[in-house]
Amino acid sequence: MTNVSYTSSGSGKNTTKIALRWGLYIMLGLFALFYLLPLFVMVTTSFKSLDEIRTGDLISLPREVTFDAWRTAWSEACTGIQCQGVRPYFWNSVMIAIPAVLISTLIGAMNGYVVAQWRFKGANLFFALMLFGCFIPFQVVLLPMARMLGLMGLAGTIPGLIFVHVIYGLGFTTLFFRNYYVSIPDELTKAAKVDGAGFFRIFWSIFLPLSLPIIVVTIIWQFTQIWNDFLFGVSFSQAGTQPVTVALNNIVNSTTGVKAYNVDMAAAIIAALPTLFVYVIAGNYFVRGLTAGSVKG
């Protein structure tokens, strides 16, 4: 690499440079504050009592920290007629998201492996159609999917929601894995074939162990999508199988009388925590996976 050095003519230019740099930092800082403000308000409000919210300032810190709102949101807040908080719905979301993420990732990995490494006639068309699936607006498929779930006897059930999320995640998971596997030299597959390994053996023993970085990316993506989904959750669930996003909506919208902002905020944070958690945990693995996986021959 060539080292380009800028010769500054006099101290005037240097001062300008420093001033510009500081201006940049201040701008960036202001933007960061601006984006963080809602989160700040959410967190502080969730620790305030309702009285304090009524009398106090929106952006002031809580005078007295209380966990009441969190307790209420977790186990007592009412969603319509039931008053169990978000807890049961939170577990619904867990039971939907974990299998749906794992299944869609595994199938996506296998699809990507086939499309990238076992070229068959029409593989490109197949992949193009798969991609097309990524861009179909979900609203379009609501009615056909409802009908299909009904025929399958899965309407309003958690397996039904898992099924829906797996189907609509496949486009993206296939895309991720296909693009990753396409960069792996096909001589690797050839060598394994000569060694006597078959389709699944090559996938399990050679491709999957190579895939940690892309698995993590896919899991982050799928988990965020599925956990945060509202449309499918509200359309294909019934009382008792609703995911946490739907429960959150019900808590916020079905209260009568005084709005319990602190409970709403706490419930919203609870609903958002798992995705944050996945980012923090898996993001770390992601960086490690990138540096340790060295695919290059």
Partner 1 sequence: MAPILEINNLFKNYGSVEILKDINVAIEQGDFLVLVGPSGCGKSTLLNCIAGLEPITSGEMAIGGQDMVNVSPKDRDIAMVFQSYALYPTMTVAKNITFGMKVRGIDPAIQKEKLDYVSQQLQIGPLLNRKPGQLSGGQRQRVAMGRALVRDPKLFLFDEPLSNLDAKLRVEMRTEIKALHQRLGASMVYVTHDQIEAMTLATKIVVMKGGVIQQIGTPAEIYNRPANLFVADFMGSPAMNLIPAKTRTNGQELQIEIARKDSEPIILTDTRNQNLPEDVIIGVRPEDIADATVARVGETQEADCVIDIVEPAGADTFAVMQLGGKHVTARLHAETTAVAGAAQRLAFDLGKVSYFEPETGLRLN
Choose, by CB under 8 A, the member of 192, 234, 272, 282 that binds partner 1: 192
Contact 214, 266 (CB under 8 A): no
Distance CA 223, CA 235 (A): 19
State yes or no: residue 205 binds partner 1 (CB under 8 A): yes
Distance CA 293, CA 210 (A): 7
Which listed range, 22-30, 40-48, 93-101, 288-296, lies at the site for partner 1 (CB under 8 A)? 288-296
State yes or no: residue 206 binds partner 1 (CB under 8 A): yes
Output 37 or 191, the one with its CB closest to partner 1. Answer: 191
Short-list 179, 200, 172, CA closest to 105 = 172
Which listed range, 64-72, 148-156, 181-189, 230-238, lies at the site for partner 1 (CB under 8 A)? 181-189
Short-list 275, 291, 293, CA closest to 221 = 275
State yes or no: residue 195 binds partner 1 (CB under 8 A): yes
Tokens 């794992």 identify what position? 102
Q: Tell me the closest approach of the beta carbon of residue 10 to partner 1, in angstroms.
A: 50
Which listed range, 56-64, 139-147, 194-202, 251-259, lies at the site for partner 1 (CB under 8 A)? 194-202
Distance CA 272, CA 183 (A): 35
Q: Tell me the closest approach of the beta carbon of residue 181 to partner 1, in angstroms.
A: 13
State yes or no: residue 187 binds partner 1 (CB under 8 A): yes
Q: In this structure, what are the phi and psi dihedrals at residue 85, rounded to the nearest 5 degrees?
A: 70, -165
Please tell me the count of residues contacting partner 1 according to CB under 8 A. 22
State yes or no: residue 94 binds partner 1 (CB under 8 A): no
Q: Where are the beta strands (DSSP E) in the chain?
A: none
Which listed range, 22-30, 44-52, 197-205, 241-249, lies at the site for partner 1 (CB under 8 A)? 197-205
Short-list 95, 42, 132, 92, CA closest to 234 = 92
Choose, by CB under 8 A, the member of 17, 119, 190, 288 that binds partner 1: 190
Q: Tell me the closest approach of the beta carbon of residue 134 to partner 1, in angstroms.
A: 29
Rounded to 5 degrees, what angle do the CA atoms 74, 63, 71 make? 10
Contact 221, 237 (CB under 8 A): no
Q: Which residues of the chain form contacts with partner 1 (CB under 8 A)?
A: 185, 187-188, 190-198, 201, 205-206, 209-210, 293-297
